[in-house]
Each structure stands twice: as C-alpha cells, then as structure tokens.
Amino acid sequence: MDAFLIKGGRPLHGDVSISGSKNATLPLMAAALLTSEPCTIRRIPNLSDVQFMGEILKSLGAEVTFEGDSVTIRARKIHEVGKYDLIRKMRASICILGPLMGRLGRARVSLPGGCVIGARPIDLHLKGLRALGARFTVRAGYVLGETKRLVGTEVFLGGRVGPTVLGTVNIMMAATLAEGTTLIESAACEPEVIDVANFLIAMGAKIQGAGGPTITITGVKKLHGAQHDVIPDRIEAATFAIAAAVTRGEITLKNCRPDHLGAVLDKLRETGVKAERRGPDLVVSHGRTRLRPVDITTQPYAGFPTDVQAQMMVLMLLVPGISVITERIFEARFMHVPELCRLGAEISIEGPSAIVKGGRPLSGAQIMASDLRASAALVLAGLAAEGSTTVKRVYHLDRGYDRMDEKLRTLGARIERVPDRPESE
C-alpha cells in the first residue's frame, strides 16, 4: 500500500490536462457487451477501476486490449457469470447487468461493492429491468436475472431517492435491444448518461432525450461496433479548480468542458474565486481577495455534485466564517470530517449537514483516506496545511484519479508517493 507525503503551503501554478471521465468510461466499457463486434473507447483514464472493469469483461468472455489511452473490447461470445470477487470490489460493476440482460437475457452478478458511502442499494436498477420483463432473485450474494425477451415499457426511476445515474444507464443499455419502445421517466441528467447514450447511438441504438428527465429508447435487433472519445472528467476538473483556490495559486485546466462544471463554478465564484472560461479550458485562481463562506447542498446534476462535496469543504475550512454543507445524495458521506479535524479543522455534523467554522490554519498530520473523493479532499487539505501531511491508503485515490500526484507535482506541489508503513497504523 502507498501513502502520499505532502509538504504543504506552496501555491500551485501552471497547466493541467484533464483525463477522460471515470464515471463515463466504466459504463461505456460495459456497453461494449451489447455487440459481438469490436468497440474502441479512446481517451480513457489510467485508473485501477478501469483495469478492474477490463478484468470483469474478460471474466465474462470478452477480449479486452488496452493500448495507450484506448481500450478495444470484443465481446464475440460472452456468458452471464461475473466473477464474484472482481464485481464485489467496485460499485460500477453493476452496470454489466443491463447489457447482459439485453444481450443474453441472463445475468449472474454479485452484489456490487465500491466506496463505503451509505447503503447504496440497487433496487431501482432491478425495478427498471423488472418492468422490462426480467425476473430477479438474490441468492448467496448474487443477483440472478433471467428473461425470455425484454419488452419496452414505461420505467419511473425517481421517488424516495433522486434519479440514479448507473440505474438510468443500466435500463437505457438493456432497452436498446428490447422489443418496442421504453420510456425512462425521472432519468438522471448527468453528462455521463449523455456520453453513454452517444456511444450507444454510434453502435446503432435509437435513443432520444438523454440529458433530460425523459429518455426514449426504441429497441433494435442488433448493435454494431463503434469508436468513441470519452468526455473529460468533471470531478477531476473540479478537484484541480479547488486545488488552485486552496493553495492561493492559478491553474489552467486544459480540455475540461467548463459547461459540465456550472454548479461548481457558480459556488467558487460566489466565494470569490476567479474562474474564467477560455474555449475548452478554464483558468482558476484564488484572486487575492478575501474569500467568503458559502452554503452548499449536493443535488443531482445540474446541482452541486456530491463527488465534489468533500473537496469544497476543504476550501470552506480556509475561509473565515461559518458555512453549512448539506449532503442530500448519500447518507454517510462525511468520513473525511474526522480526518480533517486531525489537521485542526473545526467541523460539527448535524444530521445531513456539516457546519464548518473556517479560518483556522491547518497544520500537517498523519491522516487516512476512507473513500475516493474523501481521499482527494485530504490531499487538498495537505497541500493547504502548514508542515508535512501523510495521507495513508491512497489506493482509494488511484481508483478514480489519473496520476494525481504526478499532475500535482507538475503544478509545483511537493507531494511524494511513499510506502505506507503498516507498523504506524
């Protein structure tokens, strides 16, 4: 296991190239299961989760070849049994369920794992696929699905919780090969859903309305191979934007699709951070003014993303005054809070809200990453803190950030990857 050793207090300056979106790449790879012809996905990020997805697809019988920043998948002959241990490791592995049901009418996948941020059930995925005619049983940790033929219908994915991103993608993928027309109501509107829809359309699917709350899919008999460039990772971009603010520096985010970052940029500007669009790039700087605290509530897209909540909390810690950060998507997503408190932060949790008393200087300490986005927040806190910070268990970060330490070093950060010493745990 690796750790990061960070010597904080240095402003970050320069250009950073934003990698392809993890949350788009994983379902895009799963979508390749829908055809026996080869599919190539380009601009994929170099991440352990992407390698995992490759392993999962191979365990289903697909040929998977990584080359540079592309992956080619050929699912000539596949079977329905996903490897229990592989799938358990990653939440996004649930998105093989839709393609398997669409292509084979059978699936046997273990209940997915991933970041420990609340219960994260899959009831909406199953509800949607059931509406299309699939039958499911859950036995010994496996979800077993079968159907003779999926038939298009109306599927409502809202209700108790907000729309589900991977649930929307799963139903959309399965419906491409269903008989007749499927209407997904209360669909997730995230850019990653649009990206997957665009790939499916390139494969021959008939899809309208992705990116809005109603998606219409008219089933076709067969899909064919296609090539696709993944959209930039809006969460990585937001993290580097906040890195510029917390280190009082200036970073140009190259090729980051600023139009996918609306809510984050709005909050950054409200606090006083400067963010200027230059075509596909974005220049973010602290601006040297006194920043103001802002309240934040996470919401489905186009609201403030839950995946940026922890990083934004670090910025609020550095701004004098009180800010309230409310988490509305996941119920246990404040695991970074006790670790930030080790650095001297004053944060109290009241129900779904964290009350942040900002303006106290942070000082380096040894802290432990608990999930992917929490790890990114701890790294940002280490960059802003005085002295040395060790962030342990950075494998969480390697799951979702493409060479974050290298990218930060090119911006002037003093950050090193060091072996994690077990005796100090």
Residues assigned a catalytic role: 115
Q: Which of 23, 40, 147, 176 binds ligand UD1 (CB under 6 A)?
A: 23
User: One-letter amino acid identity for 185?
Assistant: E
Please, what is the minimum distance in Å from the beta carbon of residue 114 to ligand UD1? 7
User: One-letter amino acid identity for 330?
Assistant: F
* C-alpha 318: how far from chain center: 25
Please, what is the minimum distance in Å from the beta carbon of residue 313 to ligand UD1? 15
| Interacting positions 72-131 with ligand UD1 (CB under 6 A) | 91-92, 118, 120-125
Q: Which stretch binds ligand UD1 (CB under 6 A): 54-62, 160-168, 179-187, 287-295?
A: 160-168
- Helices within 84-161 (DSSP H only): 84-88, 97-103, 123-131
Q: Does 197 bind ligand UD1 (CB under 6 A)?
A: no
Q: Which of 81, 104, 161, 302 binds ligand UD1 (CB under 6 A)?
A: 161
| Binding-residue total with ligand UD1 (CB under 6 A) | 23
| Interacting positions 356-415 with ligand UD1 (CB under 6 A) | none
Q: Does 8 bind ligand UD1 (CB under 6 A)?
A: no
Please, what is the minimum distance in Å from the beta carbon of residue 177 to ligand UD1? 21
Among 115, 6, 119, CA closest to 370: 115
Q: Does 237 bind ligand UD1 (CB under 6 A)?
A: no
Strand, helix or coil for residue 13 = strand
Q: Which of 166, 200, 313, 343 binds ligand UD1 (CB under 6 A)?
A: 166
Cα dihedral sign, 177-169-209-199:
negative
Please, what is the minimum distance in Å from the beta carbon of residue 44 to ligand UD1? 14
Q: Does 263 bind ligand UD1 (CB under 6 A)?
A: no
Among 231, 229, 230, 227, CA closest to 35: 227
User: One-letter amino acid identity for 163?
Assistant: P
Q: Does 329 bind ligand UD1 (CB under 6 A)?
A: yes
Task: Measure the CA–CA gap between 318 and 361, rounded to whole angstroms.
Answer: 7
- Helices within 91-212 (DSSP H only): 97-103, 123-131, 165-175, 191-202
Question: Contact, 184 vs 214, CB < 8 A?
Answer: yes
Q: Does 35 bind ligand UD1 (CB under 6 A)?
A: no
Q: Which stretch binds ligand UD1 (CB under 6 A): 165-173, 255-263, 348-356, 375-383?
A: 165-173
Q: Does 54 bind ligand UD1 (CB under 6 A)?
A: no
| Residue 341 burial (C-beta neighbours within 10 Å; 0-12, 13-18, 19+) | middle
- Look up residue 384 and give its two tokens: 């802003």
Question: Which residues make up the interface to ligand UD1 (CB under 6 A)?
Answer: 23, 26, 91-92, 118, 120-125, 161-162, 164-167, 188, 192, 306-307, 329-330
